[in-house]
Amino acid sequence: MPILYRTQASASGGRNGRARSSDGVLDVKLSMPKALGGPGEAATNPEQLFAAGYAACFDNALLYLIGQKKIAGVDTSVSADVGIGPGTGKGFALDIELTVHIAGLPRGEAEALVAEAHEVCPYSNAVRGNVDVRLNVVT
């Protein structure tokens, strides 16, 4: 596949460390939440970063489709709820729910657009077959 964009980030110190992008734009302190046995400091964690990235990417997939279809007067936003817990077997697994707000389209059209965006979004494609993503559409 032809790569249109590539970036790099590094982390040290695990969930109680620091993560930085190679260009320095992203530079965040990480802290494990209390719910996972950490100190719960005022810092971000991998699940928050994943949720923010997924929400932005899915919303952009919607905007891309809206532009392709030349649909006017539509406003969108996406909230991603990401949980972590024990997986089947060894290790941990993610639980993901997206709430997609679409104003300006009838419900049926909004649901069809969200289903299509779920096929376009690279985050959706990355987790497909591994994590069930629940989609909620709010019109």
For 4-39, the pLDDT digits (tens) are 999 999 999 999 999 999 999 999 999 999 999 999
Distance CA 125, CA 128 (A): 5
With a CB cutoff of 8 Å and minimum separation 6, the contacts of 6 are none
- Same domain, yes or no, for 80 and 124? yes
State the pLDDT confidence band at 45, using cuts at 50, 70 and 90: very high
Asked if residue 103 has pLDDT above 90, the reply is yes
51 and 105 housed in the same domain: yes
Tokens read off for 73: 């007067």
Q: Give pLDDT, residue 40.
A: 86
Same domain, residue pair 86 and 59: yes
CATH number at residue 29: 2.20.25.10
Are 82 and 126 contained in the same domain? yes
- Domains identified in the chain, total number: 2
Which one, of 134, 113, 11, lies nearest residue 63 by Cα? 113
**Is the CB of residue 31 less than 8 Å from the CB of residue 41?**
yes
| Tens-place pLDDT, residues 53-75 | 999 999 999 999 999 999 999 99
pLDDT of residue 3: 97
Span 93-114, mean pLDDT? Answer: 98
| Structural domain containing residue 19 | 1-44
Got the DSSP string for 43-94? SB-HHHHHHHHHHHHHHHHHHHHHHHHT--S-EEEEEEEEEEEE-SSSSEEE
Tokens of 120: 């376009």
Label residue 89 by pLDDT band (50, 70, 90).
confident
Question: With bands split at pLDDT 50, 70 and 90, how would you rate the model's confidence at 131?
Answer: very high
Q: State the pLDDT at residue 21.
A: 98
Query: How many whole angstroms separate alpha carbon 90 and alpha carbon 92?
Result: 7
